[in-house]
């Protein structure tokens, strides 16, 4: 039986849109097509695919699949999508091991769609990257990039390949902004 709640607020994080001319989606078009498909109170933040919305659906997995299907049907390409809620973002931020030690503009969050296998985490933990720190949890790989994410060897693609998990990356400022948007 499908559980329908009173209307919950979610955050959809799209991976790899509007990057280097790839998978171009105008946020106004995206908001429109999502509204047409039953999502409510849609707000987007910057062009990289951060969407705050309300839905009566309480199953995050079904919401992820629905958004992927809508985007594929309307825009014609597959966009990996992760749906989270306020508590998820809040707990990820609070658990950041680098938060007190580093400037916020050096902090990145690689949000994982599923928990990585323990042996892959152990193998990954053996690696070292100059000027880059990381900590792996079941929901997130925390990155501390001393020289910024743009120059980092430790990026979303590498992490997905090593951990065999779909992921999407956000910086600290974006995570804080999403928390603010979902709270208002």
Tell me the CATH number at 74.
3.30.70.1280
Kindly report, residue by residue over 115-149, the tens digit of the pLDDT.
Answer: 999 999 999 999 999 999 999 999 999 999 999 89
Backbone torsions φ then ψ of 156, nearest 5 degrees? -55, -45
Domain that holds residue 124: 92-183
Share of the chain above pLDDT 90, in %: 81
Q: Are 71 and 116 in the same domain?
A: no
Helix (H) or strand (E) holding 181: helix 172-183
Q: Number of structural domains, the chain? A: 2
Cα–Cα distance, 133 to 98 (Å, whole number): 9
Q: Which of 84, 103, 125 is the last residue of a domain?
A: 84
Question: For 132-145, b where at least 16 C-beta lie within 10 A, e where not — what string?
Answer: bbbebbebbbbbbb
Q: Are 108 and 147 in the same domain?
A: yes
pLDDT of residue 74 exceeding 90, the answer is: yes
Share of the chain above pLDDT 70, in %: 96
16 or 80, greater pLDDT: 80
Q: Are 99 and 76 in the same domain?
A: no
Q: Give CA angle at 38 (46, 29), nearest 5°.
A: 35
At 45, is the pLDDT very low, low, confident or very high (cuts 50, 70, 90)? very high
Least confident of 17-21, 97-101, 144-148, 166-170: 17-21
Helix (H) or strand (E) holding 179: helix 172-183
Q: Are 36 and 69 in the same domain?
A: yes
Contacts of 137 (CB under 8 A, 6+ apart): 95
Q: Can you give the CATH number for the domain in which 131 is found?
A: 3.30.70.1260
* Start-to-end CA span in the chain (Å): 31
Give the number of other CB atoms < 10 A from CB of residue 123.
12
């Amino acid at each position: 039986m499908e559980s329908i709640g009173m209307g919950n607020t979610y955050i959809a994080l799209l991976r790899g849109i509007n990057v280097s001319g790839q998978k171009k989606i105008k946020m106004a078009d995206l908001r429109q097509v999502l509204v047409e498909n039953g999502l409510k109170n849609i707000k987007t933040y910057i062009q990289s695919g951060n969407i705050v919305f309300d839905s009566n659906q309480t199953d995050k997995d079904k919401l992820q699949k629905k958004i992927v299907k809508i985007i594929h049907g309307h825009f014609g390409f597959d966009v990996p999508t992760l749906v989270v809620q306020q508590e998820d973002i809040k707990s990820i931020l609070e658990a950041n091991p680098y938060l007190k030690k580093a400037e916020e503009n050096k902090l990145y969050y690689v949000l994982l769609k599923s928990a990585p296998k323990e042996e892959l985490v152990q193998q990954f933990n053996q690696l070292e990257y100059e000027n880059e720190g990381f900590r792996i949890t079941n929901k997130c790989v925390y990155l501390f990039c001393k020289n910024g994410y743009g120059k980092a060897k430790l990026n979303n693609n590498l992490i997905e390949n090593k951990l065999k998990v779909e992921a999407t990356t956000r910086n600290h400022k974006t995570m804080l902004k999403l928390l603010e948007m979902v709270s208002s």
